[in-house]
Structure 1
Amino acid sequence: MKKYLILGTALAGLTGAASAQQVNVVSWGGAYSASQVEAYNKPFTEATGITVNMIDSDDPAIPLKAQVEAGNVTADVFDLDHAGAVRMCDEGAAIQIDAADLPAAPDGTAAVDDFIPGALTDCAVGNIVWGTVIAYDTTKFPDGAPQTAADFFDTAQFPGKRGLPPSAKRTLSLALVADGVAPDQVLETLATPEGVDRAFAKLDTIKRDIVWWEAGAQPPQLLADGEVTMTTVYNGRIFDAIVAEGKPFGIIWDGQYMEMNLFVIAEGAPNPEQALEYVKFATDTQQLAEQARYISYGPTRKSSLPLVGTYKDDKTQMADHMPNSEQHMAGAVMDDPEFWADHDIELTERLRSWLSQN
């Protein structure tokens, strides 16, 4: 009997007459949505008979907000970034989800104690964590590869252009870690004028060597084309380049900026009961671990990490590629939506001003 059938009791009310039932899920497309289809949707349909319709969006918070404001909600579950989930809940676009309704861990640990900090909010349930990391071209450093965030800013020992996004939270945070600020003190430091000045002073040291990127597909291409020797990049993107495409790239986890995606259910969802059962099923311990077979994003449950196995190639051990694995957490800066709600506008304006100066 397959693992996901342990939820049979909870799903019994939906099974049987489920053939005409469905749930509509809005996610981000590409390899990410594909991983959800394999890890969540197919087994959910097999266990319940409920059809899952996937809908792609560049940012699922946008159609969620538009549908709720128009009073014409056509989708049920939306996969949002952390800030978007908090914002949609505050605006009344997402319904509340009681953590007590979520399945416990296999050892009986309640969901509220099993999910990592920040993964459960009033209206959202976390599914993945992902990081913005540093990647480098291994062929460019025959005398020794870079290993730390500080090395990213050392163009004397590690020559070449650097790729960065014009993102205040990711770029300023990396600058502070490189300048010696402990990862758990980065946001506290950025909350002070002195800390902001310190971050920009560090960026000044490589300003003439920066190549700015906007879309997630750009950094691996910048490395492949030789336009940069090091760049920040989403960890899933660089994993694909290394494992799936065989590119000679390496990853530095020090100074990674770790973020989270969460599921919400729309206010006025056409299939609210099926939507809740889908969220409960998808964020079960086993299903979150199963997603890591298809993409290198970490599960939000503590009980899921020990169950992470190999990539779909049946040889690459995915535990080594999880952003929230123990060995990668020491140098990680964790995203804080509340902090950025207070500081994003001012720090983004400061970054734009800095970019416009010679």
Structure 2
Amino acid sequence: MKKLFLTTALTCSTAFAAQAEVVVMSWGGSYGAAQTEAHVKPFMAESGIKTTMIDSDNPAVPIKAQVEAGNVTVDVVSLEYADAIRLCDEGLLEPIDPSSLPAGSDGTPAIDDFLPGAITECGVSTDIWSNIYAYDSTKFPDAKPTTIADFFDTEKFPGKRGLKKGAKAVLEVALMGDGVPASEVYETLNTPEGIDRAFKKLDSIKKDIIWWEAGAQAPQLLADGEVVMTTAYNGRIFNAAIDENKPFVIVWDGQIYENEMYSIPKGAPHMEDAMKFIEYATSTEGLRASAQQISYGPARKSANLGGDIIYKDGKTVMGPNLPTYPANLENALESSFEFWVDHDSELNERFNAWLAS
């Protein structure tokens, strides 16, 4: 009887411990730190549910592997928009009911408060972020890069370039750098000639490229002097410039912006608590708190009301530092999830072949 009681007690204890922890997988670096401060810590304090943040260079990859193996250890995952759509279509994510999301702080129902496209079948937007390029201002004391074409002009602006190792947001940058207007990028990239044109533009700087894979690597390459300019996630550059006083300048021309999503992997061990976390994190207050930690735009209208959001330093106005700021959208490209859901495999296959050639 004593042995049975002990076994039962241990089982109950284990079950209670399992119910009391939510594991969130995100991208690490300053982005993961921002989500920890804005979402994880306050959610734990308010709910009493233990929540842990773990990092990945690209969370879509391990989540797909976990679900397909039937060994899911993550409850909430931060995904790029196209990945959230693709994994949902493949049945690897749990559907999310928009009616379960809290209304905006002004009472607007969530479905009307979120910006268009910010709620999908299996994901809720946490922010609108951007691929930009940035340069080290100490390397260019006279003429300064101002356009996406300047990124490819190694004669006028000599030095190594940092680029993310992959087709997405690299082929688009190449076309815009070759003079294709943002509004025509996907139309062009949807043709064999357009793809050839993008790779030809990349050829022009191939010998000067240093490739990065994790978001934290791009500002580090710039800080170490390994490159004079690099594509990067805008929030990583902002944090390095403001928090670490790095002489980095963002060029918004040719930026590629999209929603980042919180999703729940199929078979997540703590489904109910995972949904509580998403509801908390994507509330008006949760999205404003995130924008106070890193320069990504809130995806709710109500989070943008009531004056400018101020950075955690208490003085930096976030508006001009956000991808969604009007002046930053003049030659901006909204990433097409439809295009990348359809063409991701084939274009990455060609990219890898080009890389090896």
| TM-score of Structure 1 vs Structure 2, range by shorter chain | 0.7 to 0.9
Q: Does 2:134 align with 1:135?
A: yes
| Matched residue, 1:6 | none
When residues 83 and 244 of structure 1 are mapped into structure 2, their CA distance, relative to the original with a 3 A threshold, is same
Q: 1:42 corresponds to which letter in structure 2?
A: K
| Secondary structure, counterpart of 1:170 in structure 2 | coil
Which whole-Å CA distance do the structure 1 matches of 2:120 and 2:343 have between them? 21
Instruction: Output the TM-score relative to the length of structure 1.
Output: 0.85
Distance apart, 1:343 and its partner CA:
1.8
**Structure 1 residues 5-44: aligned runs within 5 Å:** 21-44=20-43
| Matched residue, 2:5 | none
**Which region of structure 1 is more displaced relative to structure 2, 106-115 or 141-150?**
106-115
Q: Does 2:48 align with 1:49?
A: yes
Q: Does 2:95 align with 1:114?
A: no
| Secondary structure, counterpart of 2:119 in structure 1 | coil
CA RMSD of aligned residues (A): 2.6
| Matched residue, 1:181 | 180
| Secondary structure, counterpart of 2:169 in structure 1 | helix
Please tell me whether the aligned partners of residues 31 and 236 of structure 2 are also in contact (alpha carbons under 8 angstroms): no
| Secondary structure, counterpart of 1:64 in structure 2 | helix
Which whole-Å CA distance do the structure 1 matches of 2:222 and 2:35 have between them? 28
Please tell me whether the aligned partners of residues 137 and 248 of structure 2 are also in contact (alpha carbons under 8 angstroms): yes
**Which region of structure 1 is more displaced relative to structure 2, 137-146 or 57-66?**
57-66
**Structure 1 residues 119-198: aligned runs within 5 Å:** 119-198=118-197
Which runs of no fewer than 5 residues in structure 1 stay unpaired?
1-19
Identity %: 56
When residues 30 and 138 of structure 1 are mapped into structure 2, their CA distance, relative to the original with a 3 A threshold, is closer
Q: Does 2:310 align with 1:319?
A: no
**Structure 1 residues 196-345: aligned runs within 5 Å:** 196-306=195-305, 309-345=309-345
When residues 288 and 198 of structure 1 are mapped into structure 2, their CA distance, relative to the original with a 3 A threshold, is same
Distance apart, 1:260 and its partner CA:
2.9
| Secondary structure, counterpart of 1:231 in structure 2 | strand
Q: 2:351 corresponds to which letter in structure 1?
A: L
When residues 245 and 134 of structure 1 are mapped into structure 2, their CA distance, relative to the original with a 3 A threshold, is same
| Matched residue, 1:17 | none
| Matched residue, 1:5 | none
Please tell me whether the aligned partners of residues 305 and 319 of structure 1 are also in contact (alpha carbons under 8 angstroms): no
Distance apart, 1:32 and its partner CA:
2.4
Which whole-Å CA distance do the structure 2 matches of 1:291 and 1:229 have between them? 29
> Which string of whole-angstrom CA distances, capped at 9 and with x for unpartnered residues, describes residues 121-176 of structure 1?
11111112222211112122222211110121223332333222232222211121
Q: 1:336 corresponds to which letter in structure 2?
A: S
Please tell me whether the aligned partners of residues 85 and 341 of structure 2 are also in contact (alpha carbons under 8 angstroms): no
> Which string of whole-angstrom CA distances, capped at 9 and with x for unpartnered residues, describes residues 63-106 of structure 1?
43344344444432222222332233223232211212222223
When residues 342 and 243 of structure 1 are mapped into structure 2, their CA distance, relative to the original with a 3 A threshold, is same
Q: 1:333 corresponds to which letter in structure 2?
A: L
Which whole-Å CA distance do the structure 2 matches of 1:69 and 1:97 have between them? 20
Please tell me whether the aligned partners of residues 83 and 341 of structure 2 are also in contact (alpha carbons under 8 angstroms): no
**Which region of structure 1 is more displaced relative to structure 2, 265-274 or 182-191?**
265-274
Which whole-Å CA distance do the structure 1 matches of 2:125 and 2:314 have between them? 26
Distance apart, 1:282 and its partner CA:
0.9
Which whole-Å CA distance do the structure 1 matches of 2:212 and 2:73 have between them? 34
Which whole-Å CA distance do the structure 1 matches of 2:72 and 2:356 have between them? 42
Please tell me whether the aligned partners of residues 82 and 337 of structure 1 are also in contact (alpha carbons under 8 angstroms): yes
| Secondary structure, counterpart of 2:144 in structure 1 | coil
When residues 26 and 216 of structure 1 are mapped into structure 2, their CA distance, relative to the original with a 3 A threshold, is closer
Q: 2:113 corresponds to which letter in structure 1?
A: D
**Structure 1 residues 57-76: aligned runs within 5 Å:** 57-76=56-75
Which whole-Å CA distance do the structure 2 matches of 1:62 and 1:285 have between them? 30
Which runs of no fewer than 5 residues in structure 2 stay unpaired?
1-18
**Which region of structure 1 is more displaced relative to structure 2, 263-272 or 291-300?**
263-272
> Which string of whole-angstrom CA distances, capped at 9 and with x for unpartnered residues, describes residues 242-288 of structure 1?
11221212110111122332111233333322222221111011210
When residues 139 and 340 of structure 1 are mapped into structure 2, their CA distance, relative to the original with a 3 A threshold, is same
When residues 58 and 217 of structure 1 are mapped into structure 2, their CA distance, relative to the original with a 3 A threshold, is closer
Which whole-Å CA distance do the structure 2 matches of 1:108 and 1:330 have between them? 32
Which whole-Å CA distance do the structure 2 matches of 1:326 and 1:258 have between them? 13
**Which region of structure 1 is more displaced relative to structure 2, 127-136 or 26-35?**
26-35
| Matched residue, 1:91 | 90
Q: 1:191 corresponds to which letter in structure 2?
A: N
When residues 187 and 39 of structure 1 are mapped into structure 2, their CA distance, relative to the original with a 3 A threshold, is same
> Which string of whole-angstrom CA distances, capped at 9 and with x for unpartnered residues, describes residues 304-324 of structure 1?
234652222212222222222
**Which region of structure 1 is more displaced relative to structure 2, 159-168 or 287-296?**
159-168
